[in-house]
Structure 1
Amino acid sequence: MHLDPLSLRLFIAVIEEGTIAQAAQRCHIAASAVSKRLSELEDSLQTSLLERTNKGVAPTAAGIELLQLARSALNELEQVNVRMRDFASGLRDHVRVFANISAITQFLPREISTFLASYPQVQVHLEEKISAHVTQAVAENAADIGIIARGLYGQALEKFPYHSDELIVITPSQHPLSQRQQVTFAELLDYDFVGLHTGSAINMQLQKAASALERQIKLRMQVTSFDALCLMVEAGLGIGILPKAVARPYRATLGIHGLELKEPWAARELLICVRSYQALPRAARLLVDHLRQL
């Protein structure tokens, strides 16, 4: 049996759903057919991929390795369709960029605009993801280029300097800290926070800093965008931490106050990450070069 996309998709579905029955329902195929495909896959590879129990299935070590390879292979196949569609519609190149919210709100709109002015035949597909998901997508070839905050994400990627930014604190205009110009992180931990979504680089840094002080953050709520964070802070629901450049227009129009955060980690580095610069398609290399020059 040769490896084929259907068998790989069924294998991925079984791992993600945890049972053959649920995977069969998800893929609209009989459970017996799914089971037969999996057995043939194991026979073809001459290794056990799944451990079957009364509660369902779990991947073996070989199964975990195949899961990553299968996702990458299917992503590659999908890109064949995407890029051929681009040629059919007159587009000659397509670049997939995943970036964190800080890069998207501060830098990428202008920089992608100037890039496309020079290379109008290129289509740039941009998605906002947290940095950990960006690195995973780049590693699995779901994205050509990633923009992340410097950190440890467990992926072996090539990285290049991009931009730096500075985190500041924002408070409601009538908050006890609203008369201050600067503050340490320890002083903030007595107050309620409005945080970004779980897994974001900023939230992870705040949790790390609080743990170092043997304290906990009073996280009153979490939001998924900087504009929502600023509006919640203005409404008096807590204080927030976000990049200084992002906060600037909101400070001019909303009832919020900005303070300098006196911590070394408030100065951040953003990075460009790729699997291999030399292996990138020509358009993706041109975009990386463009972003590194700015």
Structure 2
Amino acid sequence: MWQIDQMSLRLFIAVCEEGTIARAAEREFIAPSAVSKRLADLETLVGTALLSRSQRGVRATAAGEALLKHARLIMLDHERLQAELSEYAAGGRGHVRVLANVSSMVEFLPEVLSRFLQANPGVRVDVEERTSADIVRGLEEGAADIGICRDFVSTRELDVTTYRSDHLALVVPKDHPLAGAPAIGFVQTLDLNHLGLSSNASVNALMQRIAAEKGRELSYRAYVSTFDAAYRFIQAGLAVAILPREAVNPQVRQQYGLEVIPLAEAWAERRFVICVRDRAALTLPAARLIEHLMATR
């Protein structure tokens, strides 16, 4: 039975992620020739081609994709082992990797993590922004310990805990005729020029479907990729937008001169969930972070 050493797995992962041996070598601080030798030995060991090489770089073969999936899990488990042993040796130290969607990053996660890190100075938390569907895939592939995403995506075999909610609202400039309204129905907004947020693709699709069911059309005047850009477009009077009201906090409202009108629709409330592959297998820092998240809802 053949065995693959961790260095070979690390280099194989780096090559797959970087797309070229040169970039992988630079990332891992090793000579390209040494990387090539490791990969050649690895393919000889397993008896099949793991990489497809071309002038544009390298990519994993079908066998390589299988190895990549397991290699990431092996490296993650090794990192978890080191982190947990370090915790027992030094007390409260470790590393947690989190995948989170853009709404959580804008609405609450920075403040929640700040309090956690103040209480746990020996823990390092790496956060990567992804779409909800990508968060599920990333957890399944072992790319992170914890995921924060929407509840509408299929979480398959993951361990899922309902976390918190946010609420969609119509955001307008403070001098807009609708500013100050206590609430508004979605259909009432369809005569307005809307601003689309690319990270809200699922919400955009939902609203377009609902508009079509009402025999109407949702008109997007422009699309932007960030909440900050959306605030600026609305401030300039170019369009209105349906955004989570939690993302338009009092400071944002004051800075950009915005008004938030609650959307009087049952579907305006949306839920976040916390996902992990196996809660029982979490490192102590990751388990502590989940406890902190749940305690600060």
Task: Place the TM-score, normalised by the shorter chain, in its bin.
Answer: 0.7 to 0.9
Partner of 1:210: 208
Q: Deviations over 1:11-61 (max 9, x none)?
A: 234434545566567665345x44433232122123332344566544222
Q: Secondary structure at the match of 2:281?
A: coil
Residue 284 (structure 1) aligned with residue 286 (structure 2): yes
- In the comparison of the two structures, how many residue pairs are matched? 287
The more displaced of 65-74 and 127-136 is 127-136
Task: List alignment gaps of at least 5 residues for structure 1.
Answer: none
Residue 256 (structure 1) aligned with residue 262 (structure 2): no
**d(CA) in 1 for partners of 2:40, 2:114:** 50
Partner of 2:170: 169
Q: Output the amino acid matched with 2:259.
A: H
Of 270, 273, 276, which aligns to 1:274? Answer: 276
Q: How far off its partner does 1:69 sit?
A: 2.0
**d(CA) in 2 for partners of 1:128, 1:209:** 28
**d(CA) in 2 for partners of 1:53, 1:120:** 47
Partner of 1:158: 159
Listed as ranges, the matches of 1:75-154 within 5 Å are 75-78=76-79, 91-108=92-109, 120=120, 123=123, 125=125, 127=127, 129-130=129-130, 131-152=132-153
Q: How far off its partner does 1:137 sit?
A: 3.9
Distance 1:21-1:192 versus aligned 2 partners, 3 A rule: same
Task: List alignment gaps of at least 5 residues for structure 2.
Answer: none
Partner of 1:244: 245
Q: Deviations over 1:137-175 (max 9, x none)?
A: 433444322221213266631101111121112122344
Partner of 1:3: 4
**d(CA) in 2 for partners of 1:145, 1:170:** 31
**d(CA) in 2 for partners of 1:179, 1:274:** 41
Of 161, 182, 185, which aligns to 2:184? Answer: 182
Q: State the superposition RMSD in angstroms.
A: 3.9
Q: Output the amino acid matched with 1:258.
A: V
**d(CA) in 2 for partners of 1:172, 1:209:** 21
**d(CA) in 1 for partners of 2:111, 2:19:** 44
Q: Output the amino acid matched with 1:203.
A: A
**d(CA) in 2 for partners of 1:229, 1:107:** 18
- Contact 1:185 / 1:261 at 8 angstroms: preserved in 2? no
**d(CA) in 2 for partners of 1:194, 1:79:** 40
Q: Output the amino acid matched with 1:123.
A: V
Distance 1:22-1:164 versus aligned 2 partners, 3 A rule: closer
Q: Secondary structure at the match of 1:143?
A: coil
